[in-house]
Amino acid sequence: MTGALGGVAVRPDGSNINPAALALLKFMLPDGTYLIPTPRTVNKAKPFAQQGFSVFTEPCHFSENQFLTNVDYLARQNGKIAASFFLADDGQTVTFPGNGLNPSGNIPGFPSPSDSGFRVFSLAHTYTLRSNWLNEARFGYVRTRTRAEAQTPFTWSDVGVAEGEMSNNNELPSLNILGSVSLASGFPRTIAQNSFVFSDDLSFVHGAHVVRFGGSVTRLQDNIDIQGLGSFVVFRSWPDFLLGLSAAVLVIPRGAYSFGRMEVLDVVDGQQRLTTFQIFLAALRDLARTLGQNQTADLLGSLLLNPEGPQLHDRIERYKLYPTAYDRKLYCDLVDLDWDGLRKKYPDSFYKNGKVLESAELPLRAWGFLRTEAETFINTTNGETTAARLDALSAALLEDFQVIAITLDEHDDAQVIFETLNAGGEPARSYGPCSQRCLFTAPHVPVRMSKS
């Protein structure tokens, strides 16, 4: 039994099943059921990923409480004060949530409770100056707030997967086996908006004519706290899942091609793998320079940076990979600076002997670890020169490690394409051919990453 694209087969005795996949299959929910359930019915006439069938029912709950009051006070014969207040609080639980990476789940155990609050207050003062003069002042306040949580039965570290803490990647796991199981955590966030309005109108009546003067001031305040999107891994088939072979990198062009400009691709899936790969290239390039192998360093550098030219209309386009805002600055420094430059810019992240601290940010720790491991490999010469060992490591990294890139049209539905690749979705019609190629066969193409 091999994966969707062939290759390594799952051994009959299961000896090459990935330990993390085995841990997920054995993982049990608090109610004693398995996280990935045994199918309730099996139809062997269907494709393998769809042979098992189960139905789950978990109701979503919603409740709301409201309060409304109005007060009118006649302060004097020519003046009135009116106040109004409305309150609404609600709570709900979505039992099969989704997030920005995996929009829909079909496995129970990932509830997403949320609550919202609404407040509306207004205060008005109406005053008659004379029989033909009227002034009305108003103050209004509106507040809306919503908070969503994400509850997950496991973290990646619980099943032996090494995942970082950035963007709650470890705490918010999502997984999809195309055409079959889809684990989707919620999207924890808090959004609050406050609106303040003050207005004053002065009206003058003269015969059949009315003249009105006035003005208003409005202030809007938005407070957004996004705790993280989590992480998402896709497998094309059950054998790929069992072997731990996740799906290809999925990219979508950003707009139509324009002559004289750099083509930009948004990465839908594969951000972490691409970032790790580029950090490894940056570390190996710095090591090559330290060893005086400038030709190898330049070759590695051509895979990190685009050549200068009129096609670069923005400084960020010089980077082949441009990460999200969270770790963008540090990533660019890892590409632009050498070991000494990084120590000078981030002195609190290095020991005095030059090694990277364990408390340093994860991209910098990864850079230091990969560089140190590469240096250890190169210095273990076994009769070979360091230059030969460096070239062998570079060749293994670039020739033997291949990344399949599936490039979609900007109007294509990425989820539908994934389903189609696994013969579990709609037949391919107008999507055009999906190109499968090594990432670095197009050295002029930069990639900007986007998680939102």
**pLDDT mean over 7-28:** 88
Give residue 415's pLDDT. Answer: 52
Enter the pTM of the model.
0.55
Q: Does pLDDT of 149 surpass 90?
A: yes
In the chain, where are the structural domains located?
A: 2-56, 61-94+111-149+189-226, 248-449
Q: Which residues pair with 112 in a beta bridge?
A: 94
> Token pair for residue 244?
């731990």
In sequence order, which residues have a C-beta less than 8 Å from that of residue 298 and are 6 or more positions away?
Answer: none
DSSP states along 222-253: EEEEE----EEEEESSHHHHHHT----EEEEE
pLDDT, one tens digit per residue, over 233-266 is 888 788 888 888 776 555 556 655 556 666 667 6
pLDDT digit string, tens, across residues 105-127: 899 999 999 999 999 999 999 99
Q: Is 34 helix (H, G, I), strand (E, B) or coil?
A: strand
- Please check whether residue 404 is in contact with residue 435, taking contact to mean a CB–CB distance below 8 angstroms: no
Mean pLDDT of the chain: 81
Q: CA dihedral defined by 237, 241, 242, 243, rounded to 10 degrees?
A: 100
* DSSP 3-state of 422: coil
Strand order in the sheet with 321-322: 321-322, 447-449, 265-269, 249-253, 405-407
Q: Could you give the dihedral angle defined by the CA atoms of residues 253, 256, 262 and 265, in that order, rounded to the nearest 10 degrees? A: -10
Nearest partner of 187 among 163, 233, 152, judged by Cα: 152
Q: What is residue 347's DSSP assignment?
A: G
Cβ–Cβ contacts within 10 Å for residue 356, how many?
22
Looking at this protein, which amino acid is placed at residue 193? Answer: Q
Poorest-pLDDT segment among 46-60, 68-82, 138-152: 46-60
Mean pLDDT of 15-28: 91
Return the pLDDT at 383.
79
